[in-house]
Amino acid sequence: MALRYDAGEVLTAMVTPMNANREIDYNKAENLAKYLINNGTEALVVAGTTGESPTLTHEEELELLSTVKRAAANKAKVILGTGSNSTETAVKMTKLAKKEDVDAVLSVVPYYNKPSQRGMIEHFSAVAEASDLPVILYNIPSRTGVNMLPETAAMLAKKYPNIVALKQSSPDMDMISELKLKCPADFAIYSGDDSLTLPMLSLGAHGVISVASHIFGKELKSMIRNFKTGEVMASKNMHKTLFPVFKKLFMAPNPVPVKAALAHLNLIEDYVRRPLVELDEIEKTGLFKVLDDVKEELDG
């Protein structure tokens, strides 16, 4: 069955490049977006957590969106992170995204205030009713402090045709099975953790909203394609090759390691906004060794 909305199989939760003053470097953002599109990314998620959304102003988010849309030039979808722990703000940003003509929005479970399941239903109902844009729900209990249950996601997916997918960042594979059993067949599940992509594919997930795709986008695309076309051993081997990278990119709070990795490739400068801090030299040495070893293995 066709999906109600197909954003692609490899979506990149894009970092926000910054300069030494920790101001957004829009030129590097444009160049990075083009690089990602040329290296396996089918959709760019702008102003998500990997993009340091907690420290971006709404004005910066809109300028960043405009920059990435220009770079994408209809070669990839552009998805805006419009989630908030305030329903009013999430609705306002979703309406704004509609005016800015984005392809879809990513809306996270409200964080810190820990709503009940009924509160989540009311929150996401308001978001879905704010526009006809495709809405991708985002469940990440480790950051929000609360878990959206499969029943809640299923209820929302059944009620609102424009709630089209879920980004699931949780190692609980039983939840993926429950989601596939309870949600409509045309509702897409995306892995929110690179290391869980292959296990989730085996349970019916469609793809990944990825951090590692900044560095290994083509390889991730190959891993997913091979799995879906029955080349399971090739897919498993790629997962095993990339696994050390998946783990190292979360050796410190995201997006600190991936920004260091991109700077190692001379694609951006290595700066994050406080309260995040850059890796120290020992941490960088360990990260770069893993990156270089994996690249060598892939090239070999």
* Residues assigned a catalytic role: 138, 167
Query: How far from 100 is each of 67, 81, 165, 204, 229, CA to CA, in Å?
Result: 12, 13, 21, 32, 37
Q: 256-262 long-range contacts, Cβ below 8 Å, gap at least 24? A: 257/283, 257/287, 258/15, 258/50, 258/211, 258/212, 258/214, 258/215, 259/15, 260/284, 260/287, 260/288, 261/214, 261/215, 261/287, 261/288, 261/291, 262/15, 262/32, 262/214, 262/215
CA distance 192 to 147: 14
CA proximity to 279, closest of 294, 264, 293, 297: 264
Kindly give, in sequence order, each residue whose CB lies less than 8 Å from that of residue 299, ignoring residues fewer than 6 positions away: none
Q: Is 44 helix (H, G, I), strand (E, B) or coil?
A: strand
CA distance 193 to 114: 22
CA distance 278 to 260: 8
Q: How far is CA 115 from the centre of its chain?
A: 22
CA distance 30 to 214: 14
Rg (CA), the chain: 18
Q: Record the tokens describing residue 220, joined without a space.
A: 């991730």
CA proximity to 248, closest of 168, 200, 194, 300: 194
